[in-house]
Structure 1
Amino acid sequence: MFGKYKPLWGNKTRLKSSYDAVIIGGGLHGLATAYFLAKEHGMKNVAVIEKNFIGFGGAGRNTAIVRANQRTQINVPLYKEALDLWPVLTRDLDFNLMFNNCGNLNLMHSEAAMNAARMNIATAQFHGVESHLLDAKQVKEMVPALNISPDITYPIHGAMFHPPGGIVRHDAVVWGLAKGAVKLGAEIHQQTEATAINTENGRITGVETSRGKIHSPRVLVSAGGYSAGIINKMLGIKLPISVLTIQAMVTQPLKPILNHVVSSGAYHAYANQTLKGEIATGAHMDPWPNYTTLTTAYYIKHQAQALSEFLPCLRGVKFMRHWGGLADMTPDMAPIMDGNDPIDGFYMNCGWGYFGFKSCSAAGRHLAAFMATGNCPDILEPFNLRRYEKHQLMGETAALVSYTPDN
C-alpha cells in the first residue's frame, strides 16, 4: 500500500469566507501571482479559484517555447525578465522545470524580412538580450536538416538567432508554482467556479462561487481565453479581445535532429524536438473567433506541407497527437494588465494571445506587486486598458479585432 494520495499542492481545503486576495484562474499567470504575493509581499491569505483543475487551459495546451526577442522596447524588458527567472524559479521552488535554453532560430525568407530582423536584433541588444543575424549558410551549419535551396515556396535567406531562448516543461511550471504557493500559505481551490464578482460603491467586495461566498478587497481575473467573457459577464467591462483557436501536434519519437527551436513566419510553423524525441510543432491561429479546442484536418495538412519543405527529412514521419488551445488576442497583440480602473480592487491579466507562457513568471511577479501595494509598476503601465481609448496601440504587430471602447 502506498498510503493516501497527496497532491504536491496539498489536500483539498475548506473554502474560507474571507481572503486578502482572490485570483480567478488556476493557470500559469494566476499561480505565479499567488506565489509572488506570498513570497515577496507576505500576503499569504490568498485563494486561487479554478473551475476545472490547475493547468486546464492554455497552461496545459502549448508547445513550451520561451524567448525574449520581441519587437518593441516596451515588450522586450518584460520577456527578458521572465526568461532570466526560469533558473531562479527552479532553485527557489526546488522543482525541476526542465528549462533548456537551446536557442531560438527564427527563419527569414526575404530581404525585407532580413531588414526587419536587423531592427529586432538592435532592440534586443539595446536591452541586453543576446541576438544575432545569420545568413543562409550559417543557418545550415547550425541545423543541417534545414533546406536552404531556392526551389521551395519560401527560400531561406537567413535567420535571427536568439541563444538564451528555448523550452520549459509547461506542466512542471504549473506544478512547481502550485507547490510553492501552497507551501507559503496560499490556497488552491479546484473544481470551484466563480459565479459573480461583487462590488459596492465602485469597490470590489468579494466573489461568489459554486462553494459559497467569499469576502475580499482584491480580485484578479487571470483565466486566459475565458477572461474576457468572465469580465464582461460579471462586471460589464468589454475588452478588445477575440478568442481564437491555435493548434499544435507532435510526431512519433525520432533520433536527435533539431537542437534549436526553429520557427518561420512565412510558413506559419515552428518546431522543436522534445526530450522524448518527438517533434513538437504548432501553427498560426485559426482566422475566425471561437471558443472551441477542437482540431482540424486542415492544420494537419498545413503542418505536414510546411515542415516537409524546410525540414524535408520529416517527410513520411507520423503525427501522433494533435490538440487545440485558446488564444485571447488583442488588436495590438499585446496583453492587458491593469488594476483599480474602473473598479478599485479589481485587476485583470489577459489578452496574451500565444505569448502568455513566455511571460508568466515576470507578469505574475509584477501583478503581485500591483495587488499588494495598489501602485502599478512602471513596467506594466504601458499595458493598461485605456491605451485603446487613446489610440496608443503597441507596435508589436496587429491583429484584426473589432472594438468600440465604452465612454
Structure 2
Amino acid sequence: MFGKYKPLWKQAPLQSAYDAVIVGGGVHGLAAAYYLARYHGMKNIAVLEKHHIGFGGSGRNTAIVRANQRYKEEIPLYAEGLRLWPELTSELRFNLMFFNCGLLTLAHSEADLSGMRRDVASARFMGVESRMLDPVQCQKLVPELDISDVPEFPVRGAMFHPPGGTLRHDAVVWGLAKGASEYGVHIHSHTAVTGIGTEGGKIVSVETSQGSISTPRLLNAAGAYSSHIAEMAGLRLPVRLCRVQAAVTQPLKPFLNHIISSGAYPCYANQTLKGEVVSCGIMVPAPDLSNQTEPDFLRHQAWAITQLLPCLSGARFMRTWGGLADLTPDMWPIIDGNVPLEGYFTDCGWGDFGFKSGPVTGKYMAEYMATGQCPDILKPFALKRFGQFAVNSDQ
C-alpha cells in the first residue's frame, strides 16, 4: 500500500490581509512569490488562482526553453533564465526534468539564412552559444531529417543553439509552489478575483470569491486572463489572445535527439523522455477563452512534420491540447510597476515565450515589488513604450 499522501504545498485559510497578493498560479506568479519570500523576507504573501495551480499557459505549452532571441534588450533576460534552471532544480530540491538537448532552427531560403546569421551574431555578441550549420551538418545532428529537394520547403541550413532544451512543465509549477509554500506563501486555488479596491491612487484591497483581502501590493500575472484583471484596476492593456495548439504521437523508439523548428511550414517538434513526439504549430487568433484544438491543425501538423521527418509517416497522434497566449503588438511582454496605481504590478503579454521566462522574471519582479525600483533588465518592457511609440518595430 501507498503511504499517506503528503501535499507538496500547505493549505491555509484565506487571511483578511497580506503584504502582497499575486494573481495567477502559473510559473510567473509562483516564481515571484517564491523569490519574494526567500530573498526579500516578505512572508505574508497570497497567490490566487481561479482554477488549479498551473491551469493556464504553464500547464498548456511544449516546455521548450532557449535564449537565441534577436534583440539586445531581451537576450540577457532569456540567457539568465536558461542558466537558472539547473540552479533552481538544486535550490528547490525538486527535479524539474531539464533536458539540455539543443535547438535546431531550420532555414528554407536565402532570406531565412540571412536572418539567422544576424540572430547568431547577436546571440554570440551577448555571450550566448549559437552557430550556423549547413544541411549536411543538420543531418548529422538529426539523421532522419530530410535534406533532399523532395520536401516542399527544402532545408538550406539552420541555426543551432546548444544550450536550449525542455523541462517538465508540471514539475516546474509544482516545484515553485512547493518552494514558495516552504517559505510561508499561502497558495489559494479555486479562488477567483472579482474586484480590485483602490483609494487615493493606491491599491488597498482585492475582492475574491472567498472574501476580501487588504493589501498594498498586487501583481497581475494572470497570463491570458491578465487583461480582465487589469480592467478591474482601470487599465486597458494592448494585448490580444492567440491559441497555441499541440499534438503528441504514440511513444516511439528514441530518434530525435534535438528540438527541430521550422518557420516555413510552420512547426516545431521534440521527442519526450517517454518517446512521444510533441508537434506544435503557429499561433492562431483566439476569439474566445476556449483551449480546444481544431481539425485543420491536425491535418497541417501531420503534413508538416512528415515533410521534415518522413519516418513519422506511419505514426499516430494520440492526443492534442490547446493553450492561450497573451500577445502584445510588438511581441514583447509588459512588465511594469505602480502603473496606473501605486502598488499595482504587471507581468503579462508574453505570447508563447512565457514559460521560458517564468523564474527569471519572477526573480526580478520580486526585487521590483520589494524595493519599488525597477531592475535595469526589466526596463525595456515598460507599458509606457506604447504611448511613446518606442515599441519593437520589427514585429
Deviations 1:161-212 (A, max 9, x none): 0000000110000000000000011110111111111110100001011111
CA root-mean-square deviation: 1.1
Aligned in 2, Cα 1:288/1:54: closer, same or farther, shift over 3 Å?
Answer: closer
2:319 counterpart SS class: strand
- What fraction of aligned residue pairs are identical, expressed as a percent? 58
Are 2:389 and 1:381 equivalent residues in the alignment? no
Are 2:318 and 1:299 equivalent residues in the alignment? no
Instruction: Give ranges in structure 2 of 5+ residues lacking alignment.
Output: none
2:62 counterpart SS class: coil
Amino acid at match of 1:70: Q
Instruction: Give ranges in structure 1 of 5+ residues lacking alignment.
Output: 399-407
1:266 counterpart SS class: coil
Amino acid at match of 2:276: E
Amino acid at match of 1:82: G
Q: Which residue of 2 aligns with 1:166?
A: 165
Amino acid at match of 1:298: D
Q: Which residue of 2 aligns with 1:227?
A: 226
Amino acid at match of 1:108: A
Q: Which residue of 1 aligns with 2:353?
A: 355
Are 2:288 and 1:290 equivalent residues in the alignment? yes
1:185 counterpart SS class: coil
Deviations 1:283-338 (A, max 9, x none): 11114543211111100001000011011110021000101000101101110001
* Equivalence map 1:330-369=2 (5 Å): 330-369=328-367
Q: Which residue of 2 aligns with 1:390?
A: 388
Alignment partners' CA distance in 1, 2:83 and 2:3: 39
Amino acid at match of 2:8: L
Alignment partners' CA distance in 1, 2:80 and 2:43: 24
Alignment partners' CA distance in 1, 2:165 and 2:321: 21
2:283 counterpart SS class: strand
Q: Which residue of 2 aligns with 1:401?
A: none
Q: Which residue of 1 aligns with 2:269?
A: 271
1:43 counterpart SS class: coil
Count matched residues: 395
Deviations 1:14-35 (A, max 9, x none): 1111111000100000000000
Alignment partners' CA distance in 1, 2:5 and 2:16: 27
TM-score, L = length of structure 1:
0.95
Alignment partners' CA distance in 2, 1:66 and 1:193: 30
Alignment partners' CA distance in 1, 2:162 and 2:41: 36
Shift, 1:121, TM fit: 0.6
Alignment partners' CA distance in 2, 1:339 and 1:305: 45
Is the contact between residue 241 and residue 285 of structure 2 (CA under 8 Å) also seen in structure 1?
no
Amino acid at match of 1:134: L
Are 2:32 and 1:57 equivalent residues in the alignment? no
Is the contact between residue 40 and residue 367 of structure 2 (CA under 8 Å) also seen in structure 1?
yes
Shift, 1:6, TM fit: 3.0
TM-score, L = length of structure 2:
0.98
Shift, 1:5, TM fit: 3.3
Amino acid at match of 2:346: M
Q: Which residue of 1 aligns with 2:102?
A: 103
Is the contact between residue 129 and residue 162 of structure 2 (CA under 8 Å) also seen in structure 1?
yes
Is the contact between residue 245 and residue 290 of structure 1 (CA under 8 Å) also seen in structure 2?
no
Alignment partners' CA distance in 2, 1:192 and 1:48: 9
Shift, 1:2, TM fit: 5.0
Q: Which residue of 2 aligns with 1:6?
A: 6
Is the contact between residue 244 and residue 291 of structure 1 (CA under 8 Å) also seen in structure 2?
no
Amino acid at match of 1:366: Y
Are 2:320 and 1:322 equivalent residues in the alignment? yes
Shift, 1:342, TM fit: 1.6
Shift, 1:235, TM fit: 1.6
1:248 counterpart SS class: strand
Alignment partners' CA distance in 2, 1:85 and 1:289: 35
Shift, 1:365, TM fit: 0.4
Alignment partners' CA distance in 1, 2:52 and 2:27: 12
Is the contact between residue 244 and residue 290 of structure 1 (CA under 8 Å) also seen in structure 2?
no
* Equivalence map 1:97-246=2 (5 Å): 97-232=96-231, 234-246=232-244
Alignment partners' CA distance in 2, 1:284 and 1:238: 26
Are 2:247 and 1:254 equivalent residues in the alignment? no
Alignment partners' CA distance in 2, 1:49 and 1:151: 52
Alignment partners' CA distance in 2, 1:181 and 1:50: 14
